[in-house]
Amino acid sequence: MTDYSAYVTRISDLEQDLRKSLEFIGWTDIIRSDSRVFIKPNFTYPYYKKGVTTNPEFLRALCGILRDRCDQIVIGESDGANRSFTADGAFKGHGVDKICQDLGVELVNLSTLPSRYVEETVQGKTVKVQVPNILLDDIDRFVSLPVLKVHAMTTITLSMKNLWGCYPDPMRCLHHTDLGRKLALLTKVINPRLVVVDGTYGLDGHGPMYGTAKRLDLLLASNNPVVADALGTRLMGFDPQDIDHIVYAEREGLGTTDLTKVNLNDDWKQYQQDFTVDKTFVDRLSGLLFRSELLAKLVMDSPLSPPIYKVAGLLRNSHEQTVVSDLKKVSR
């Protein structure tokens, strides 16, 4: 009998389908009535954007179900990358403050809380990550609530990549060196025991913010982050063995990518779609920068940054320029 379970379905009634998925993966064996539960949505944009950020109604429905079992629920996120927006602004833009008020849920900006560094060897190389103390000391169970989408740097972004948003430094882009190992380490130390993937819309093409939203109406849940990400990767038409952070996490013993070893509710292949990853010149340049923290800091956080950003702006396509313009308006 396998310890790994996963559930995938087409959404017809969100709350009922969520309840069925959680029951299938044995959530009441994971979350006790006295557990303090942390939910991490994906708010990589200051307001709800289909296929880019977690659907607020998805978050509300999940909170409502968990709230029936336990009283201590916390929702949290860090400030937007490159100081583009605050987590508090994203909470307001997604209506999360109202959700928390209605359901009696705590809301925290991880970038404002004390944190510490955790350093370990992952597959032969030592890496270091910054983690808020609340996640290391005060939380019993962690729930990752990502979106089914592609990413120019990591191909896909699901439950483990969602943990990068727990890194409280808004300039975390400076720490992308060895990102695959760092995501595996975050998965190990944060230990998300429940994963629920919002597949209402998926993001195709130029992820994680610029792509095309695809209406999918999918829900994916698992009791293991590696399993969830392996299944989600397959659903998008990619091979999890091609995704560095998934491979590192599996080799560290954090889960399996072999779906034949997973208790599944249905044949996942009937839900599979073909996604693509589009990379622009700016994406490829960023990929080179992220190989060196010193070079990344020189380009992205130094006196040289303003003129470099100005040149980069000229190289962006129209879609990228629209997003950058939106973020500038929010940050003012």
Q: What would the pLDDT profile of 40-68 be if each residue is shown by its tens digit?
A: 999 999 999 999 999 999 999 999 999 99
Helix 96-103 / helix 56-67 crossing angle, nearest 10 deg? 20
CA distance 256 to 249: 9
Query: Cβ atoms within 10 A of the Cβ of 267, count?
Result: 9
How open is the CA angle 255-257-259, to the nearest 5 degrees?
Answer: 110
- pTM, whole model, 2 decimals? 0.92
Domain boundaries, the chain: 5-280
Q: Which of 71, 87, 228, 65 is nearest to 146 (CA)?
A: 228
The whole-number average pLDDT for the span 301-308 is 66
Instruction: State the fold for domain 5-280.
Output: Rossmann fold (3.40.50)
Q: What is the 3-state secondary structure (H, E, C) of 311-325?
A: HHHHHCCHHHHHHHH
Q: Look at residue 1 in the predicted model and tell me its pLDDT.
A: 47
Is 155:243 a contact under the CB 8 Å cutoff? yes
Q: Look at residue 300 in the predicted model and tell me its pLDDT.
A: 62
The whole-number average pLDDT for the span 97-107 is 97
In angstroms, the Cα distances linking 245 to 141, 153, 199, 226, 325 are: 22, 11, 21, 9, 31
pLDDT classification of 83: cutoffs 50, 70, 90: confident
| Residue 187 structure tokens | 């998965």
CA distance 196 to 201: 14
Is 191:140 a contact under the CB 8 Å cutoff? no
Q: What would the pLDDT profile of 121-170 be if each residue is shown by its tens digit?
A: 999 999 999 999 999 999 999 999 999 999 999 999 999 999 999 999 99
CA distance 166 to 38: 11
Sequence length of the chain is 332
Q: Look at residue 32 in the predicted model and tell me its pLDDT.
A: 95
How open is the CA angle 77-255-2, to the nearest 5 degrees?
Answer: 125
The whole-number average pLDDT for the span 30-38 is 97
CA distance 198 to 53: 9
Q: Look at residue 184 in the predicted model and tell me its pLDDT.
A: 98
CA distance 195 to 21: 10
The whole-number average pLDDT for the span 230-240 is 98
Q: Return the residue matching tokens 């929010």.
A: 330
CA distance 323 to 45: 9
Torsion, Cα of 193, 194, 198, 203 (10° steps): 20
Question: What percentage of the chain has pLDDT greater than the value 70?
Answer: 88
